[in-house]
Amino acid sequence: MGQASVNAAPLTAEVTRIYGETRIETAIRIAQEGWSEANTVILARYDDFPDSLVSVPLSKRYDAPILLTASKGLDEGVLAEIKRLGARHVILLGGTGVMGNPITKALEKEELTWERIGGADRYETAALVAERLGGNGQVILTSGENFPDALAIGPYAGITETPLLLTKAKELPEVTRQKLVELGAYQLNQESEAVTKTTVVGGEKAISPEAVAGLTGMTRIAGDNRYETAAKAFWFTQEEFGSDFASETQRTFLVTGENFPDALVTGALAVKQNAYLFMAYQEDLPAVTYSALGNAATAQAQLLVTIIGGETVLSERVKGIVEGSIQPPYLLAGLTVVVDPGHGGKDPGASGPGGSHEKNSTLSVGLYLADLLRQAGAKVVMTRTGDTSPAGGSYTELKDLQARVTIANQIPADLYVSIHNDAFSNPEAGGVTTYVSAENPKAEEGRKLASAVQQELIKQVGLQDRKVKTANFYVIKNTTMPAILVELGFISNPVEEKLINDPEFQRKSALGIYRGILIHRGY
């Protein structure tokens, strides 16, 4: 799956985890995260999803956390959590075959009141929950035969308290049809507009066109798989709410897409905290999820991602990708970048008051950058990997520059990045500058790349922002692809000279350039 959004940002999220030893314990931890007290709790089966799929809007209506238990009885930890919350009432989701007498007797023993919302099957249970919620001008229809799509749209349904109804893939159950009729999903008003907006979540294999025939105000949210559908549910939610979600931080939750309990109970917490919900594989973050998470972070000061589950549920690799310490290989797949560390060999470049030479620091940054780009799937060609000139033994300044340009043009590369240090007679001069050439045939694209790189470099290294400037340096003038030349600080400035030769500064410089390339590529 490739990149799905062109408005995302590279991930550098703050990451935490919530988890217990079992899915029941994880649900308890989530309740503890979101509720200091609650009058009501919702109780669902931990090992079977059908009756609980539609519970998130109900959680919002009653400000009730969703807890899980086995059908054979009430888990002791769950009972302790009910007492901690001070709850006096429990809503059981499912019929007696799902949540039976051992559970209700345990509740009565503790003098807790309870009620059951449960029909003959999952479809009737969903209709009963919808009846409890009432109409609000919209309804959501999703598959009752699998869990991911219903749970992906759960936070939106919860925030808006929109009824969730379930269907089979090729046939709309009669109880669902009747509830859709009651809610006005097949009607038009006098202005020939739909009385009730129906959002169908899932592709045509999950919900066939025949099953939704006749719905008058239908919008379908669907991806090629559950992860893309979850991402599209996020984009749908973002478009619907816009700035209502804006804050100094953006809270999001990341759950496994391979099982239902974590996503179910987290949906309730996401609603309570105005947060988004995303899905991942156990060992990897889908590209579309990466893009969507980046989109969530675009206008925010900080993206806070809470992973639900321990390392056996969502691995440390997933965590590393989200926090930006691991670069997933799909980000820049198919991209060829020439990384050009300035100077080298007989040409030391500029020298600092402490005796350091430009050629050494530019090579270090170039090597760090090449590693990041390769981790992200890009093909990287370096004009030099040691203290040599690409012109070889017949060095002149012109031949050296021509050799660098020839390497890039003959490939041909998609991007060209030349790395340098600045110098000036005034030792107080300092800062970072990114140059483009107006005579480069891809000058406009180069300027966009330069703007993104300059922005990210300043974030990383914290030096004076000397902005993007235009100059006809040979290597960026004569290359045929978008090309930039980056001046990473003034080696003639004693303070910046020390920074330039610090490995941590070099790594941050490479990371800034890398993130600028990601932004330029649509992340």
Q: What is the pLDDT of residues 288-319, one digit of tens each?
A: 898 888 877 654 557 899 999 999 999 999 99
The predicted model scores a pTM of 0.79
Per-residue pLDDT averaged across 165-170, rounded? 96
Torsion on CA atoms 454, 457, 463, 464, rounded to nearest 10? 10
Do residues 467 and 433 make contact, with C-beta atoms less than 8 angstroms apart? yes
List, in order, residues 6 or more apart from 412 with CB less than 8 Å away.
336, 480, 481
Q: Tokens standing for 27?
A: 């649900």
Helix (H, G, I), strand (E, B) or coil at 68: strand
Which CATH number applies to 21-118? Answer: 3.40.50
Work out the pLDDT band at 244, boundaries 50, 70, 90.
low
Q: Give pLDDT tens digits for 350-400.
A: 999 999 999 999 999 999 999 999 989 999 999 999 999 999 888 999 999
Kindly report the backbone phi and psi dihedral angles of residue 91, in degrees, each rounded to the nearest multiple of 5, phi listed first.
-100, 120
- What is the four-CA torsion angle of 427, 428, 432, 435, rounded to 10 degrees? -60
Q: What phi, psi does 205 have (nearest 5°)? A: -75, -35
Q: What is the pLDDT of residue 39?
A: 97
Q: Lowest mean pLDDT: which of 89-103, 239-253, 409-423?
A: 239-253
Taking only the tens place, the pLDDT of each residue in 436-482 is 999 999 999 999 999 999 999 999 999 999 999 999 999 999 999 99
CATH architecture of the region 336-520: 3-Layer(aba) Sandwich (3.40)
- pLDDT per residue over 57-77, tens digit each? 999 999 999 999 988 889 999
498 SS3 class: helix
Instruction: Quickly state the pLDDT bin for 7 (edges 50, 70, 90).
Output: very low
Residues 363/387, Cβ–Cβ less than 8 Å? yes
Report the pLDDT value the prediction gives residue 8, as an integer from 0 to 100: 56
Residue ranges, CATH 3.40.50, the chain: 21-118
| Exposure on the CB side of residue 395, measured as CA atoms within 13 A | 11
Residues of the chain with CATH 3.40.630.40: 336-520
